Structure formats: structure tokens, C-alpha cells
Amino acid sequence: MSNRHLSKKFLAALGFALILGVPVITTPASAQSSPAAEPADPNLWLEDIDGPRAMEWVRRENERSLPVLENDRRYPALLQSALQVAQNRDRLPLGGIRHGYLYNFWQDEDHVRGIWRRATIASYATGNPEWQTLLDVDALATTEHANWVWEGADCDPSGARCMISLSNGGLDAATRREFDVASRSFVADGFVIPEAKSRMAWLDRDTLLVATNWGEGSLTPSGYPFIVKRWRRGTPLSSAQELVRGNQTDVATTPFTIDDTDGAHHSFVVHGVTFFENTYQVLTPSGLRELTLPRKSTIHGLYRGRLIVTLKQEWRIGGKTYQNGELIAIPLAAATSATPAIEEIFTPNARQSIEAVGITRDAVLVGGFDNVRGRLQRFALSGNRWSGTQIALPQTGVINVVSADAGDSHAFVTYEDFLTPQTLYSLDNEAAAPRSIRALTAQFNASPYVVEQFETASRDGTRVPYFVVHRRDMQLNGQNPTLLYAYGGFQLSQTPSYSGYIGRLWLDQGGVYVLANIRGGGEFGPAWHDAGLKTHRQVIYDDFYAVEQDLVNRRITSPRRLGISGRSNGGLLMGVMLNQHPEMVHAAVVGSPLIDMLRYDQLLAGASWVGEYGSPSVPAERAFLEQISPYQNLRRRDDFPLVFIYTSTKDDRVHPGHARKYAARLEELGMPFLYYENTEGGHQATANLREAGRRRALEYMYLVQRLMD
């Protein structure tokens, strides 16, 4: 809605996370060229996303695998529990603040596709909001005979008009249509941006800045636009005037806007030079001017004329060195000078991180971790001096800044941990005093369980923390069915969060849940992520193996009772670990995975991720990828477990060909597996709440069969 949490907005705008995506490539992937030195791949035809032969293979594998899970006598109960969690009405209606309202998108069993609605801040702060429905996506889909999935709304500076993003069946590529909030209807002859991986920002009520697919040659190798144009109301999109053109070799060029605490509306352009490196420009009356910032940095917003920025690298400027992970402020008026004035707000230590920054009219809110335990700080400016205090909230779980806006004094945050459902807090008194306004009802009985945090030494001696959720009376006999989850990439921290799925479908079935904070994530700031970049990535896998070993050494579990799970980049983690140490586990859930690391950069968004993984076209980086790529390194082994692989046909982020080819290779080697491909749902592999519940039920049914039987 507004430009709160600009770090997250930039990730979404640029696709700078593995959980994001790019436009659908209409040319079958099987027709794309391969490096000349790469051996012929007999399974290349499975990259043809909707090809008849590939889809027949998908149908056959679904029909073979699903009965194994769905015909289990325990499956109906698991499915019922999963659907109860997915469709539970007792969820916090979170959203963004804008012009005195909190906007929320809501789904339940009566609104499967969802409704977009709003409530006044005063009403929302009571914990029992009076909602005004703005758009019913279910009704719209029925009226238009379309498979619409909500993707979000971007509103003009006044909040009166919004560009609504709707995708076909969960694709990341979306159609954007102008919506009038007062009349609760789409604007006749209003702005419409056809289906694409477009990005836009409101320059003013009658002007958009648009980056989209302008035709041949207008997309980067990653599939993102690099040309931004200015589009005036009442003119065709084809007549939009070019504002700036990035380099076609970059990842993307994207417009965005920020509102300051005084209401001033500022427009910017970010050039994604690589996955983690950006340059920024601000639009001034004399044109675009480049901001003086290091390439690895993230803008969170504006506070009293100052850009609030997190550094993602050490930065030496003006004779002073600023630390990697530090939060700073730079006056916008001087931000294009060679040596702008820099104000230091907060510098985390080696075991701390900054996870989120929210800006209100009165303060800068900084959420993060101390040794992967939540912390929320409030920083304010008095004259030219920043001062900070810690807000009194629980510190054993995760604190999220969920609603904050530079135009409002109010903010809302949530707290949760593995055993405590989300609690919504209103930050009153200029966002300084927390007040609990609503706590969710527990979805499982937490009283039998406890949480412990352990550390183990990785191969290079680095201490790696992990959480274990288990029954109080757990016996250390090596026989506890244990599920180990991790991600390990893109600076995405894995947090001690509440999950009804884990509680009801795993803990209550007798399982132990483990969350590992391996390198590649952001739990200890940018350096924790940087340690596993490109050819250094083996440390991530060493960390995971160390946790597996430690669980066995502590006699919490044994290889016969240990299962692992990961999706997306975590699916790559699963593939590598199954090749390197299959003897450690008896089950593995491989979700929406990256598997063919010698072709990943040629499939959908893959080219944008070379900053994380390295490029197969760079000899040294290719040599490393050849060592770890799950597809090329898969070998028949008697100790390789039966795995469960899932993906979605409509995943236009991580190509479904990865999962398909992995399954096909297992079949060639005579190694059993289960496979499920949802034909809708996008990268999350879930198009609606019912499918979300079904996917979880299938996962946990598989885990129960493998680890508890």
C-alpha cells in the first residue's frame, strides 16, 4: 500500500529472492540453447512446461504417487487437520497503513480467492475492526470467468486510486488494473498494464512510472524489464516516454516511490546490477541523479528528510569506515554529493541482525535478532542526535513489524514463537509503548512441548545454532521421529515461528521438529549470508551435516528416524545433502527445488541468481557447480531414501523442469520416489487455501510413513 519496509518492497520489485519470479517464457525451455560442452540431457523435454508429452508424464506420476499417500487410513485425519489450519478464521488480519486506514487481504473457506478490505486505524487498534470490503476476488473471477489470484495493490499518493495486480492461477506475471477506492470499482478507461512481470510506481495521480515487457529486446537475461517509461493518463501505453534505460546485462531496472514523514512524495529508480548489487537514482526537477551509496545497501524509507539505509558491505567514505550490517541515515538533500553527511543509527554485533525496519511519523523501528531471538528497538532523532531504546516485548521468539507508515504515528507488531501463537500489539504513544490487542487461539496444545536451542561446530569450527521442539518427556534413545528444516540462502533468516501445521500434523503425531540456522541466511547479518556465496557454498552444506550429526550424537534421533525438508533454495539444499550424505536420513521432502545447477541460469529467473550461486559460464564457478549440482551428481546408492518431490506447473520462478528431471533421473537409476505436481499455484504450489492444506497433508503423510512406521 505504501512504502513501508522498503527492503521487502525492493526484493519484491526486483525478484531479489528465490521466492520471487519473472515473466513466463513462452518459448518451450526445451528449445533453449545449452552450452556446447554440456552433454546431451535426455530429460530436456521435461522443461517444456505445458508440452503434451511433459504434461502426460506429470499426470502419470501424480496418478502413481498420490494413492500411496492418500489411500493411507491416516490421511483423511491429517487432511482434515491441515484444512482446519489453512481455513482457520482465527488469524490476525495483518496489512499496511495508508491515510488513516489499515488495508488487509483476507482468505477463508467462504472467500477462497480472497477479499481486499480496510478498517480505520482507530477501529483496528481495538482488536475488533469494522471492515469495509473493497474487492471480492472470488466474485470478480466468477464474473470474468477468470482464474484470478490476488497479487497486491499499489496506490497513488492520495490513496484514492490503486493499481490492482491479479495473476492467472498464481503466476508471478500479473495484469495490473486501476481501481477507484471510493466507488469500489475498476476505473473505466483507466490505467491497465497487460500481463507481464511489470513494476510500476505512481509519480502523481495521472502519471505512472512503468517497467514492463516493451517488446523484443526490452528484457534482461533474467527476464526482467530494464526500461522505465513515464505514462500519462489518457494516452496508450505504447506512447509512454522513456525515462531511463538500464543495462540489458543487469538483472532489472525498477521504479519506486517513498513518502517522507512530512508527506512529501519522492520517486526513485533502482538498477539491479547483480542479484545483490544495486545503484539508485532519485528523480529531481532537473532529472535523475545517482545517490551516493555502496552497491550492497538497502533503502528502507525516509524519516524527516533522511534516507534510512542498511549497509550490506563495509563502506569507507569521507575518511570513515561504516560496518557491514549497520543502519545509517543520509539527508536526501545531500545524498547525491560525493561525500554526503552520514548519521549512524545502530551497529549490530557479530551475533545480531537487522531483520526489518519500519518508519513512523515519530520514529524508526528496528526489528532483529540477538542469537536468533527477537528484539525490537525504537530510534528517534532529537536535533542531529539519534537515540534508541528497546521496546518491552518478549524476546524468545520473533518480533515482526507488520504495519508502519511515515505518515502515521501508529505502528503494529506481532510476537510469536514455536509454541506461542501470534499476538498483535499496537505501539502507542508515538510507537513507543506496546499494548496487546489480540492473541490468536492456539491451534494445538503446547503444554506437552518445550523448545531448546543448541549449537554445534561446523567443519571449519563455526558455531551453528539450531532449535529443537519436542515433548517434555522425550527419551534420548535415538528413536524419536525428527524433521529437520533449513533454507541456507539469499540472506533469508529462519525464525522461531508458530505453525499449526507443524503442531498438529507433526508434533501431535509424536514427532520432533528442528530448525537449523545455517549459513546463507541472515540470522547474524550480511556476513552470515556472504560466507556461503558462490564457490564458498559448501560451508552451508557442512553446517547442515553438522546439525544432522549433532542430533544423532545427542541421541535425539538416528538416521532411521531423521527426515529433512526444504523448498526452493532449500530444495537445492535437499538435493545436495541427499547426494553427499544420504546415509544420514530416511526421508526427504524436496519442494519446488533447484536441481540442475548447470542449466539453472537458462531457466526462468535463474540468470538473476548468479550472484548467489555463481555462473555456469564462469569456469571456476562452473567447476564448483559441477561438484554440487544434484542432477549431475545423482548416483544409485542403496542407502538413498525414498524422497517426496513436489512442484507446480505454474511456477514461473523456479522452473518445474528441475523437479521433473530429478524424478526422471531417479527413475532411470531405478531408485523409488514420490512425485506431486500441482497444475496451478505458482511458486508456493498452492493456488488457494484448500490446496495449501492438501499439500501439507501430503508432506506429513509421507513423513509419518517414512519416520514413524
DSSP letters, 501-529, are HHHHHTGGGT-EEEEE--BTBSTT-HHHH
The one-character DSSP state at 640 is: P
Q: What is the CA radius of gyration of the chain?
A: 25
DSSP letters, 38-82, are SPP-TTGGGG-TT-HHHHHHHHHHHHHHHHHHHTSTTHHHHHHHH
Paired strand residues for 308:
301, 329
Residues contacting residue 674 through CB under 8 Å, at least 6 positions apart: 65, 68, 69, 642, 643, 644, 645, 702
Task: State the Cα angle at 301 between 295 and 306, rounded to 5°.
Answer: 90
**Grid coordinates given for 573:** 539444499
Paired strand residues for 645:
590, 675
Which amino acid type is present at position 186? F
* Residues with catalytic roles: 568, 683
Tell me if 701 sits within 8 A of 91, measured CB to CB: no
The label of the residue with cell 523456479 reads 654
Cα–Cα distance for residue pair 147/167, rounded to 1 Å: 8
Residues contacting residue 553 through CB under 8 Å, at least 6 positions apart: none
Q: Judging by beta carbons within 10 Å of its beta carbon (0-12, 13-18, 19+), is residue 672 exposed, middle or buried?
A: exposed
The label of the residue with cell 488495508 reads 103
Tell me if 293 sits within 8 A of 10, measured CB to CB: no
Write out 256-275 in H/E/C secondary structure. EEEECCCCCEEEEEEEECCC
Cα–Cα distance for residue pair 230/232, rounded to 1 Å: 7
Burial readout 146-161 (b: 16 or more C-beta within 10 A, e: otherwise): ebbbbbbbbbbbebeb
Q: Judging by beta carbons within 10 Å of its beta carbon (0-12, 13-18, 19+), is residue 74 exposed, middle or buried?
A: middle
Residues contacting residue 432 through CB under 8 Å, at least 6 positions apart: 363, 378, 389, 391
